[in-house]
Structure 1
Amino acid sequence: MMPGRNLRKPAPPAAPAEREVAVECALQLRRIGDKWDLRQRILNFLAKLFFPET
């Protein structure tokens, strides 16, 4: 350990309800990301189809 630095205190364990909310939030963010990824892939495909030289 370096002198002058304090160790971080570990966060207290989350309550089951908080953990459930965090999991649901993560799932929703994943779904949003998947939708954006699909949208981007479709746009890239259409761009290649209509503008093959780029």
Structure 2
Amino acid sequence: TVKKHLRAQEVARENQLPCIYLVDSGGANLPNQDDVFPDREHFGRIFYNQATLSAAGIPQL
């Protein structure tokens, strides 16, 4: 779930651990993206966290 994914990213950041993502699809139907990325606790936050983890030098696969 999204909450588990966000928590795993939080643990990785706090402990400077690498993240490994196993994703079937990271995309969304563009005409419906306003429903997919509505607030900070949804998939838009996952992408934001990926960017900040990368900026912090934490490896991600």
TM range (shorter): 0.3 to 0.5
TM, length-normalised to structure 2? 0.31
* More relative contact order, 1 or 2 (CA 8 Å, 6+ apart): 2
Q: Return the structure number with greater helix share.
A: 1
Q: Which has the larger radius of gyration?
A: 1
TM, length-normalised to structure 1? 0.34
